[in-house]
């Protein structure tokens, strides 16, 4: 199984300790016995899709209030998922498509024994660091290889992609199968205005603070840097993505297009009496969005957890809520506690991944200050949360006082339920309890208004299907999508950017920057440069329609051969969140040839290269 | 003249270009002819202080509205300054003490021909970088030596400090003369709450964004890093200071002390009929603070310039306003255009300091986005400012379109006044014009309310003088203050932190961090380590009452000998903004001995060391 190094980073980071930094230094298992089992990595393979729109919509009666409708919809979705799980044993998720226009049941086969086979040094996987992130041309070997096990033996898989040793040529048609996370192309103008005026400014404010916090913590020592690397990368990556998105919605041209398209559709709907249900949908979305806007800050702070940035707090809340939710009938639980998802939730909850007290205290104290700044220090809930102490002291007391870093203790509380959770008097659980009523209340408000939007979007989708068919595809939902595009360079500031780079380009870039971080080339790559064919293609771009979540997507040619792996989009691709364009927006991939070249000539991993290219089958 | 490297950094940075980085690499003038004249560095030496409280207060009549009072006070202050300038030829500033309790006229002799003699590498001046900033123990040679000229010859100065080659010993009494910038010890509880709930969260939000922006720009290339270094240091330094201050006001204990002290004073005032004027003063401050709170965001964005982070914009606004203000009578002008300060203003305005278009575009675009996020994208003023373009495009058009990087052009517009400024149709000046009415209006609101607070503070001060005499000293105002303290270590987390460090400690710290940035020791220091007496004291701490602005303050012993130079305070010292404590708060200094040791043994600057220690007089 191949993915990006930055996708595997979480797993890599969890192996490491003060003496061994696999994330930074890489890893290669010379034999199967050396393959390292990941602590809590779960892979899901899509097995089937079933349209359950009719059944989901049938559960919602016209006389229901929006809140009742939300509960009914949540109940029927949990019911469908549970039935499917019981029947097939497969992970089963009901997915909302077209912002509520359709509901599909996705079934996944789960693999939880995933072992690391190979990872390069992070410095070549993420060559150019934050400055080159979301940029092109690029020179990154952003890959990571795993082997999937079942019953302690390598899984026997029927379907897999053959490896192309030829790579791509310019203008070639390629396909990308992946899990784009979230797009907002079907958003109404009111929703886009919210994104522009509130969601992105708030998100950036928070990320800027975290980036400064984690960067200065990391600068204190190598060990700090190792501990925070994964979080910091995530923060920087999101920050850059949001800046690109903000640039999109701050472009009056894009908003004018959206306004014109919305007006055209509204006019067409108004002209067709049979579509009258949809006439008021845009206004209903705007109204719901207004209420969401008023509650979003509180929701993010209390429910999403922006006021409590701490793994231990997350564990505490899961235990507290599990004790409340599990005794309820499946259909009445908070969605994440539905039967169909419990196994995955437990897999995470009982992970032995390391928790660093200093980092926990740092992020918790910082987020408590953020909470106080946003809700107001004198807010009664803030006063209760701080308990008469400065944020640093409160965070330190909580982290030092909790027993939740002990996985056995978590298991005990989880299995014994509420009496044990209550009796534990664990300070972190008590903190979660302190805010739970408020957090649930604001979540209910947000969920109810989201349901209202969803109903209105369903009406718009129905109208759009009637007018245009399903020529528009749904917004991304982290589920599988097959995209396609051409391998193609582009023009930027008057210059033509070529469709691919070579290994030689890497060394040139290193020289231009005197081999200084983040443009330093790893020692192995410097020492063994002479072995490489420097003309080997390294990275390439295509016009495939991707977005965050597509990291690790294979790129295949018309013979279904693996020619590369997506690891980024250029900065111009971030506008794809709101509208597709192939003018400058490009998906960035590692070429299949450079992977083999590096494995053979730099990493002494010829055996692995042989296995990948089908020359041998590894024992 | 000795100061800190980080104080001289602005001057150092302005010398550099793509090929020569004096800020990073240091500088030593081996002869007087090699001394480098600073582009726009102005030194002011305090010559006299005169109490003008009676005259200032006499200008304000009891029947005046607050707004009239503000204008009358501004007018009499400008009048006093102008009279003094005309009479003495000295720079003359009326300074507001005790938040309005007293007014003093300060006269300064100005030196504008200041030449660089010596600066070490920035890496040893700021050893440990941001992680060690505001921390102790420290190992920094944060110094910079200049020579002051008059009539193209070294100025002849009567008074100067003798150099101590013995340094300090533990518990020794020391004195510090310097210019602490701003403290808030006389703030009422309402004002402190504003600092806690609004001023600091806003300031940190803005600084976090700028730190991320400038860091990622700097990471792209060495040249970028050089261009942005000064700005980035300022941002990181303020960020760390504000975090320390925020921790202070988020400590319930400090606020309880403040509340108790305020109650005690209010009760004492209420009990003394002759102090009845002051009874309502606290409420009047709270009311004014409320209006300030409502207007602060707009004031910061439009008037302070947080929405227009660009040197070119600053120049544009100065030219626009100079054309409006200079024709007015001196007493009616905006304070910065008063006759007494014009020479200094012109010195800055006509500086040949380099302006980097890419950095200007970057910060201007970012601050325009910040403006849109804070005032709302649809705010009519924001719409006018953006002129139908995305922020990046607008910023790029403005920076590329303006002619203000040409100093001769600035001089022409400044001297020809309004007709020339209007006729220029310079896009940056037109932008300044676009927001000028709004910026002036919100400034007026803030200034009027500040006057109201000042009147109330004057009443409180009068009452406090009556009750306690002048045993409390005024809040810091960037004017000269003589502080004192003991050379003394402190306890932290159970460990005793010694009062001084040695050169040996520097090398140990470097080793602990594998000599990795920001803990890398400059090559010269590594190569010549053998020459040094490693027991030489390097940095020391004292309990002197300092705050930001004290950087570069000489520390002198009871024989008035120079024993060191303040360059920082520890993180615990940041609470000194609100209250004095000698428990852990410490001022951090470079020891006089380490300066001489480094000059002689590392920098081949024995001649300079001889001159400093009075062994020779340099030609």
pLDDT over 70 at A567, yes or no? yes
Average pLDDT (A176-190) is 94
Comparing CA positions, the residue from B546, B543, B595, B584 lying closest to residue B568 is B546
pLDDT of residue A618: 54
pLDDT over 60 at B619, yes or no? no
Comparing CA positions, the residue from B192, B244, B236, B206 lying closest to residue B218 is B236
Contact A369 B250 (CB under 8 A): yes
User: Coil, helix or strand for A135?
Assistant: coil
pLDDT over 80 at A229, yes or no? yes
Summarize pLDDT for B184-233 with one digit per residue, the tens: 999 999 999 999 999 999 999 999 999 999 999 998 888 899 899 889 98
- d(CA A423, CA A418) in angstroms, rounded, equals 8
In residues, how long is chain B?
619
pLDDT over 80 at B617, yes or no? no
The angle that helices A200-220 and B200-219 make with each other, rounded to 10 degrees, is 70
Q: Tokens at residue B186, please?
A: 């006389």
- d(CA A228, CA A215) in angstroms, rounded, equals 8
Between B201, B204, B377, which is nearest A197 by CB? B377
CA of A412, closest CA in chain B: separation in Å?
35
Contact A197 B373 (CB under 8 A): yes
Q: List beta partners, residue A487.
A: A542
CA atoms within 13 A on the CB side of B349: 24
- d(CA A216, CA A367) in angstroms, rounded, equals 16
pLDDT over 80 at A617, yes or no? no
Q: What is the chain B residue with the closest CA to A254?
A: B390
Between A130, A374, A377, which is nearest B196 by CB? A377
Which of these ranges, A15-24, A238-247, A501-510, B117-126, has the smallest mean pLDDT?
Answer: A15-24
pLDDT of residue B58: 95
| Helices of type H across B250-280 | 252-270
- d(CA B444, CA B442) in angstroms, rounded, equals 5
Tell me which of B565 and A465 has the higher pLDDT: B565
Q: Alpha carbon of A403 to those of A14, A361, A435, A600: distances in Å? A: 20, 14, 20, 47
- d(CA B447, CA B354) in angstroms, rounded, equals 33
Are the C-beta atoms of residues B409 and B403 closer than 8 Å to each other? yes
User: Pairing relation of β-strands A561-569 and A162-163?
Assistant: parallel
pLDDT of residue B618: 54
Average pLDDT (B371-376) is 94
Q: Tokens at residue B123, please?
A: 């890496």
Place of tokens 């544009």: B316
Tell me, what DSSP letter sits at residue A487?
Answer: B
- d(CA B560, CA B554) in angstroms, rounded, equals 10
Contact B211 A209 (CB under 8 A): no
Between B205, B247, B378, which is nearest A390 by CB? B247
Between A130, A205, A239, which is nearest B205 by CB? A205
Place of tokens 């310019």: A170
DSSP A149-193: EETTEE---S--PEEPSS---TT-EEEEEE------TT--HHHHH
Contact B390 A221 (CB under 8 A): no
Q: Tokens at residue A290, please?
A: 């207004």
Are the C-beta atoms of residues B467 and B261 closer than 8 Å to each other? no
CA of B228, closest CA in chain A: separation in Å?
15
Are the C-beta atoms of residues B439 and B313 closer than 8 Å to each other? no
Question: Is residue A472 very low, low, confident or very high in pLDDT (cuts 50, 70, 90)?
Answer: confident
Instruction: Round the average pLDDT of chain B to a whole number and report it.
Output: 94
pLDDT over 70 at A95, yes or no? yes
CA of A38, closest CA in chain B: separation in Å?
30
Average pLDDT (A535-549) is 96
Are the C-beta atoms of residues A169 and A537 closer than 8 Å to each other? no
pLDDT of residue A14: 86
Between B222, B239, B377, which is nearest A212 by CB? B239
pLDDT of residue A277: 87
φ/ψ (deg, to 5) at B205: -55, -45
CA of A22, closest CA in chain B: separation in Å?
19
Q: Alpha carbon of A177 to those of A267, A330, A520, A550, A553: distances in Å? A: 36, 33, 32, 8, 6
pLDDT of residue A495: 87
Are the C-beta atoms of residues B363 and B107 closer than 8 Å to each other? no
Contact B211 A208 (CB under 8 A): yes
Kindly list the residues from chain B whose CB atom is less than 8 angstroms away from the CB atom of residue A204.
Answer: 209, 373
- d(CA A148, CA A150) in angstroms, rounded, equals 7
Give the DSSP H or E segment for B611: helix B606-612
Summarize pLDDT for A37-85 with one digit per residue, the tens: 998 899 999 999 999 999 999 999 989 999 899 999 999 999 999 999 9
Are the C-beta atoms of residues A103 and A54 closer than 8 Å to each other? no
Tell me, what DSSP letter sits at residue B487?
Answer: B
Tell me, what DSSP letter sits at residue A370?
Answer: H
Kindly list the residues from chain B whose CB atom is less than 8 angstroms away from the CB atom of residue A252.
Answer: 386, 388-390
Q: Which residues of A touch B (CB under 8 A)?
A: 129-131, 193, 196-197, 201, 204-205, 208-209, 211-212, 215-216, 219-222, 239, 246-247, 250-252, 369, 372-374, 376-378, 386, 388-392, 513-514, 516, 518
- d(CA B472, CA B104) in angstroms, rounded, equals 17
**A196, A390, A571: best to mutate for the B interface, most B CBs within 10 A:** A390
- d(CA A582, CA A179) in angstroms, rounded, equals 20
CA of A389, closest CA in chain B: separation in Å?
6
End-to-end CA distance of chain B: 16
Average pLDDT (B78-87) is 95
pTM: 0.87
Q: Which residues contact A488 (CB under 8 A, 6 or more apart)?
A: A170, A171, A499, A541, A542, A543, A582, A586
Question: Is residue B494 very low, low, confident or very high in pLDDT (cuts 50, 70, 90)?
Answer: confident
pLDDT of residue B93: 95
In 10 A of CB A351, how many CB atoms? 18
Average pLDDT (A244-271) is 94
pLDDT over 60 at B20, yes or no? yes
Burial B288-320 (b: 16+ CB within 10 A, else e): bbeebbebbebbbbbbebbbbbbbbbbbbbbbb
Question: Is residue A115 very low, low, confident or very high in pLDDT (cuts 50, 70, 90)?
Answer: very high
User: Pairing relation of β-strands B162-163 and B561-569?
Assistant: parallel
Give the DSSP H or E segment for A561: strand A561-569
- d(CA B293, CA B311) in angstroms, rounded, equals 27
DSSP B548-570: TT-TT-EEE-TT-EEEEEEEEE-
Q: What is the chain A residue with the closest CA to B219?
A: A131
User: Coil, helix or strand for B109?
Assistant: strand
Average pLDDT (A184-210) is 96
Residues of chain A by 3-state class (helix, strand, coil), percent to 5:
55, 15, 30
- d(CA A153, CA A111) in angstroms, rounded, equals 12
Question: Is residue B263 very low, low, confident or very high in pLDDT (cuts 50, 70, 90)?
Answer: very high
User: Pairing relation of β-strands B554-556 and A537-542?
Assistant: unpaired
- d(CA B535, CA B506) in angstroms, rounded, equals 11
In 10 A of CB B173, how many CB atoms? 12
pLDDT of residue A99: 84
- d(CA A459, CA B473) in angstroms, rounded, equals 70
Question: Is residue A100 very low, low, confident or very high in pLDDT (cuts 50, 70, 90)?
Answer: confident
Q: What is the chain B residue with the closest CA to A246?
A: B369
Kindly list the residues from chain B whose CB atom is less than 8 angstroms away from the CB atom of residue A518.
Answer: 219
CA atoms within 13 A on the CB side of A351: 25
Question: Is residue A489 very low, low, confident or very high in pLDDT (cuts 50, 70, 90)?
Answer: very high
User: Pairing relation of β-strands A113-119 and A500-502?
Assistant: unpaired
In 10 A of CB B264, how many CB atoms? 11
Q: What is the chain A residue with the closest CA to B130?
A: A216
Three-state SS across A59-94?
Answer: CCCCCCCHHHHHHHHHHHHHHHHHHHHHHHCCEEEE
- d(CA B616, CA B607) in angstroms, rounded, equals 8
Are the C-beta atoms of residues B396 and B426 closer than 8 Å to each other? no
Q: Tokens at residue A401, please?
A: 């006082």
């Amino acid at each position: 199984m191949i993915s990006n190094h930055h996708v595997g980073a979480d797993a890599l980071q969890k192996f490491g300790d003060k003496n061994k930094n696999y994330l930074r230094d890489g890893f290669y298992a010379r034999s199967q016995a050396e393959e390292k089992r990941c602590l809590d990595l779960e892979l899901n393979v899509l097995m089937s899709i079933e349209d359950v729109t009719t059944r989901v919509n049938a559960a919602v009666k016209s006389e229901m209030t929006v809140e009742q409708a939300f509960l009914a919809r949540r109940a029927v979705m949990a019911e469908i998922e549970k039935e499917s799980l019981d029947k097939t044993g497969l992970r089963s998720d009901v997915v909302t498509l077209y912002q509520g226009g359709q509901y599909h049941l996705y079934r996944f086969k789960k693999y939880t024994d995933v072992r690391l086979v190979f990872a390069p040094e992070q410095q070549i996987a993420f060559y150019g660091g934050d400055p080159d992130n979301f940029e092109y041309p690029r020179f990154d070997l952003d890959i990571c290889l795993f082997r999937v096990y079942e019953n302690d033996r390598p899984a026997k898989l029927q379907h897999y992609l053959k490896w192309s040793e030829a790579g791509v040529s310019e203008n070639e048609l390629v396909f990308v199968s992946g899990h784009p996370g979230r797009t907002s192309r079907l958003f109404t103008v009111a929703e886009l205005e919210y994104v522009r005026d509130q969601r992105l400014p708030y998100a950036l404010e928070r990320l800027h603070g975290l980036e400064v916090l984690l960067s200065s913590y990391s600068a204190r020592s190598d060990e700090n840097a190792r501990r925070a690397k994964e979080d910091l990368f995530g923060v920087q990556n999101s920050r850059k993505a949001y800046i690109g998105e903000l640039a999109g919605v701050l472009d009056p041209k894009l908003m004018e297009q959206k306004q014109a398209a919305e007006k055209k559709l509204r006019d067409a709907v108004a002209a067709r009496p049979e579509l009258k249900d949809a006439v008021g949908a845009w206004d209903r979305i705007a109204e719901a969005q207004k209420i969401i806007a008023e509650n979003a800050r509180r929701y993010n702070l209390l429910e999403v957890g922006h006021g409590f940035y701490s793994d231990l707090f997350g564990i505490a809340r899961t235990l507290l809520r599990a004790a409340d939710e599990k005794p309820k009938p499946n259909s009445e639980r908070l969605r994440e506690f539905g039967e169909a998802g419990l196994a995955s939730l437990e897999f995470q909850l009982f992970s032995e991944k390391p928790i660093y007290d200093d980092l926990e205290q740092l992020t918790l104290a910082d987020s408590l200050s953020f909470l106080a700044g946003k809700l107001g220090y004198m807010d009664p809930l803030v006063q209760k949360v701080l308990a008469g102490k400065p944020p640093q002291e409160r965070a330190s007391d909580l982290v030092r006082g909790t027993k939740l870093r002990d996985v056995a203790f978590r298991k005990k509380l989880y299995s014994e339920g509420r009496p044990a959770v209550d009796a534990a008097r664990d300070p972190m659980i008590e903190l979660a309890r302190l805010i739970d009523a408020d957090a649930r209340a604001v979540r209910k408000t947000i969920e109810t208004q989201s349901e209202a939007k969803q109903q209105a979007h369903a009406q718009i989708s129905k109208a759009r299907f009637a007018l245009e068919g399903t020529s528009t595809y749904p917004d991304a939902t982290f589920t599988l999508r097959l995209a396609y595009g051409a391998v193609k360079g582009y023009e930027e500031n008057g210059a033509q950017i070529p469709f691919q780079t070579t290994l030689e380009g890497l060394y040139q870039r290193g020289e231009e920057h005197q081999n200084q971080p983040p443009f330093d080339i790893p020692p192995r790559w410097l020492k063994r440069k002479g072995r490489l064919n420097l003309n080997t293609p390294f990275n390439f771009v295509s016009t495939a329609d991707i977005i965050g979540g597509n990291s690790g997507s294979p790129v295949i040619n018309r013979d279904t051969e693996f020619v590369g792996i997506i690891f980024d989009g250029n900065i111009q691709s971030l506008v794809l969140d709101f509208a597709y364009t192939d003018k400058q927006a490009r998906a960035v991939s590692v070429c299949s040839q450079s992977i083999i070249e590096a494995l053979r000539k730099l990493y002494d991993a010829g055996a692995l290269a042989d296995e990948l290219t089908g020359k041998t089958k590894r024992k």
